[in-house]
């Protein structure tokens, strides 16, 4: 029961995180600065509690590099997306990640792609096209929010694959590397985009730090605790609760509505993700039989 509750907490947090993030943005603490402040606070607390756990990180330097970049982009892009686009669209596009995981798993882990996987990929990508479809789709580029959400889901899938390749590293080391990646990506945004430090009250900075410690840190620990105790397919299905929380909270607090085309496309994507989870688990059980 405790792992299920932990995972529900994490899913609820990530489905609702758009609200405090937008609140901090309205208070003047713009996207990359608030993300950096939140994750810097979370990383600081984790290092103080567990120490710096990066021993062995240089045994596979290229894999560590991609873990840092992918995990950093996944978190930053997702949070920037919820600042720019409708919450449910962002969450659904992000949940194309199981499809990207299949493709990257074939490329980087030499995992076979079965016949049903091809249909799953078509279903998921068809859902994405359905959600983004408009009359001038072939001539007008898709929105920044959609691109950020899609790229965040791809980066999250790459993070999962790199995590599997770095089997010799412990959970604390991978978590610290992921959060270092967030700070690195934020620094790139700030330097390349010449984003000035916002002049906001100390209480606003404190709010970002609190979100990092009470939110990002504890939700990460909750996921690690839960997925180490639950079957993969069960934990993946529970995490879809994030979409439910996001849809309800966005409707109640921001008045965001999802039209029929977006529901259809979103349903196709979620079904494709469920197929990836269940057939992936079945394949693992056959290999261990």
55 has a pLDDT exceeding 70: yes
The one-character DSSP state at 196 is: P
User: Which pLDDT tens digit goes with each residue over 143-156?
Assistant: 788 899 999 989 98
Residue 242, pLDDT score:
83
User: Which pLDDT tens digit goes with each residue over 118-134?
Assistant: 677 777 778 777 776 66
Mean pLDDT calculated for residue range 95-123: 71
pLDDT band at 78 (very low <50, low <70, confident <90, very high): very high
pLDDT band at 164 (very low <50, low <70, confident <90, very high): confident
Q: Which of 289, 250, 260 is nearest to 86 (CA)?
A: 250
Q: Which of 121, 106, 128, 159 is nearest to 266 (CA)?
A: 128
Buried (b) or exposed (e) across 3-32, using 16+ Cβ within 10 A? beebbbbbbbbbbbbbbbbeebbebebbbb
Torsional class of 147: left (φ above 0), alpha (ψ -120 to 50), beta (otherwise): alpha
User: Which pLDDT tens digit goes with each residue over 222-235?
Assistant: 887 876 676 655 66
Residue with structure tokens 């504890």? 218
111 has a pLDDT exceeding 90: no
Question: Taking the CB of residue 90, how many other CB atoms lie within 10 A of it?
Answer: 28
CA geometry: angle 39, 40, 45, nearest 5 deg: 95
The CB-based long-range contact list for 229-235 (8 Å cut-off, 24+ gap) reads 229/3, 230/3, 230/4, 230/7, 231/281, 232/277, 232/280, 232/281, 232/284, 233/277, 233/278, 233/280, 233/281, 235/3, 235/7
Residue 34, pLDDT score:
96
Residue 192, pLDDT score:
93
Q: Got the DSSP string for 50-112?
A: H----TTTTSSHHHHHHHHHHHHHHHHHHHHHHHHS-HHHHHHHHTTHHHHHHHHHHHHS---
User: Which pLDDT tens digit goes with each residue over 191-225?
Assistant: 998 999 999 999 999 999 999 999 999 888 888 78
Residue 7, pLDDT score:
84
Domain boundaries, the chain: 2-288
Residue 97, pLDDT score:
75
Question: Taking the CB of residue 54, how many other CB atoms lie within 10 A of it?
Answer: 15
Torsional class of 230: left (φ above 0), alpha (ψ -120 to 50), beta (otherwise): beta
Helix-helix angle 232-239:260-288, to 10 degrees: 170
Q: Which of 233, 236, 219 is nearest to 6 (CA)?
A: 219
69 has a pLDDT exceeding 80: yes
274 has a pLDDT exceeding 60: yes
pLDDT band at 26 (very low <50, low <70, confident <90, very high): very high
pLDDT band at 96 (very low <50, low <70, confident <90, very high): confident
Residue 236, pLDDT score:
64
285 has a pLDDT exceeding 80: no
Residue 9, pLDDT score:
92
């Amino acid at each position: 029961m405790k792992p299920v509750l932990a995972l529900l907490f994490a899913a609820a947090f990530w489905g609702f995180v758009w609200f405090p993030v937008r609140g901090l943005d309205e208070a003047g603490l713009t996207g990359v600065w608030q993300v950096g402040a939140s994750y810097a606070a979370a990383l600081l607390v984790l290092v103080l509690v567990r120490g710096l756990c990066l021993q062995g990180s240089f045994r596979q330097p290229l894999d560590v590099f991609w873990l840092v970049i992918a995990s950093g982009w996944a978190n930053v892009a997702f949070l920037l997306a919820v600042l720019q686009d409708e919450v449910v669209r962002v969450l659904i596009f992000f949940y194309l990640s199981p499809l990207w995981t299949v493709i990257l798993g074939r490329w980087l882990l030499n995992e076979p792609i079965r016949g049903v996987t091809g249909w799953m990929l078509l279903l998921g990508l068809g859902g994405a096209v359905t959600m983004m479809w408009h009359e001038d789709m072939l001539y007008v580029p898709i929105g920044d929010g959609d691109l950020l959400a899609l790229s965040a889901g791809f980066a999250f899938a790459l993070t999962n694959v790199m995590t599997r390749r770095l089997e010799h590293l412990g959970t604390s080391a991978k978590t610290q590397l992921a959060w270092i990646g967030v700070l690195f990506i934020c620094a790139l945004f700030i330097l390349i985009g010449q984003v000035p430090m916002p002049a906001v009250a100390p209480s606003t900075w404190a709010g970002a730090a609190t979100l990092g410690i009470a939110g990002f840190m504890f939700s990460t620990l909750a996921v690690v605790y839960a997925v180490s105790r639950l079957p993969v397919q069960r934990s993946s299905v529970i995490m879809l609760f994030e979409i439910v929380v996001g849809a309800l909270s966005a409707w109640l607090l921001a008045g965001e509505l999802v039209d029929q085309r977006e529901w259809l496309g979103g349903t196709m994507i979620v079904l494709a993700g469920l197929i990836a989870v269940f057939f992936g688990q079945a394949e693992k059980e056959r290999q261990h039989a």
